[in-house]
Structure 1
Amino acid sequence: MTRKDSVRLAAESARETVRHASEVVAPYAETAKDAAVHYAHEANERLAPKVSYAANEAARQARTTYDSHVHPRLRQARTHVPTNVDRAATRAVKQTRRAARQAADYTQPRFESALAAATPVAEEAASRSTAAFAALRGQVSAKEVQRLVRRHERRARAGRLFKGVAIAGVLAGGAYLAWKWWDQQSNPDWLVEPPAATELSSRDSAAASFDDELAEKEREAGPGSAPEDKRL
């Protein structure tokens, strides 16, 4: 047996070992993927209502505790403290209640959004593990993997380009609206002067007034001037 034959046998043995390992691990990978997706959906469906219920229950319990224990003692203590101290205590209670409400409003949406964001991440991890095991078993070639990578890169570039075009359009529209507003503020309608009368209109008015004066003189002369005109 030559050295080349021994290398070929070793490569075939390693390939068979990898194939056998992938065949053994593949069912576990499929099961793990299904379990991860199932657990992610189940956690999202179960924890979101529980978190909302727990927040509401905590708020109700805090309100009940305050009404049954804290509020009566505060009313009793108000009769023995000065007015300034009473106002300060009332202000502190209101601020504490407001802080608790703000903390609940701040925490609950973020926890729910974190649960919602964890679901696609788990599905993506499961799909990638399945693709990796499929590649190990020889079901997916290197060219197909490269094609998928290039497709994802093209989609990412197209998304970035579309986002850039949208942002540029919004900025251009905002700049145009700002310019129109500034132009209207700088040149309002009441500030625009009417155009001056032209010299032609003044001549027309002078000619019209001359014709009116001539007609008036003819009416004052009367009909007696007509025979004289005929004799002439």
Structure 2
Amino acid sequence: MNEMIKSYDDLLNMLDQFLKEESKFDWNHFYSDRERKVPFFRNDPDENVVEYFETEKLSKGKVLELGCGPGRNAIFFAEKGCVVDAVDQSEEGITWAKERASEKNIDVNFIETNIFDLEIEEGTYDIVYDSGCFHHIAPHRRMDYLDLVNRALKPGGSFALTCFVQGGELGGAEISDWDVYRLKSLKGGLGFTEEKLKRIFQDFEVVEIRKMRDVSQDGPLFGTSALWTALFKKQ
């Protein structure tokens, strides 16, 4: 491996590698056991997304989902009449998502790649959605993440996400961005406060930030107050 830093990308790749070397986690292994007791393995959409459509905060359009996993939200968007591109780097996750969509006879364009390798024409999407990807993004990649969302959205487009509450029951490491590099770890996923989300996404108009509503596991929706839900609009 060439370890010379000659560009911004070289620096990002070095930091990626440092964190990867310390982590034993593998998304393909994670999704390979479909019987694993993971709350979001259920095939139900996030309660906040359903509420956004019910209250007309969102309406059908072209959607990009970042980190779609087994596809439950991508399928919901398609059922609401949206044209959907759904991205995940895990082959196992994308395979599962395609099977679920096929079972429902739903058309979703599932893309197996790292989100930072996406080639997107500027202003392509009405909605960008992220359910649980953002808190796994290392701080040094955050600027590229913001650029990706901005580039993808049309003017006035909507960006929504769910992410770990700091110190929440499902995760949400209570560490600083600098601590990520001191510890060489995201500690399973970074936790956020409402104020930190507002600071990170300060160039967007805040429509709503709230904790996700707890939903019974027997119901038709996914919801847990261990996650934030946030809806922004591109200005």
Shorter-chain TM-score range: under 0.3
Bigger proportion of residues as strand? 2
Structure of higher CA gyration radius: 1
- With structure 2 as the length reference, what TM-score do the two structures score? 0.19
Bigger proportion of residues as helix? 1
- With structure 1 as the length reference, what TM-score do the two structures score? 0.19
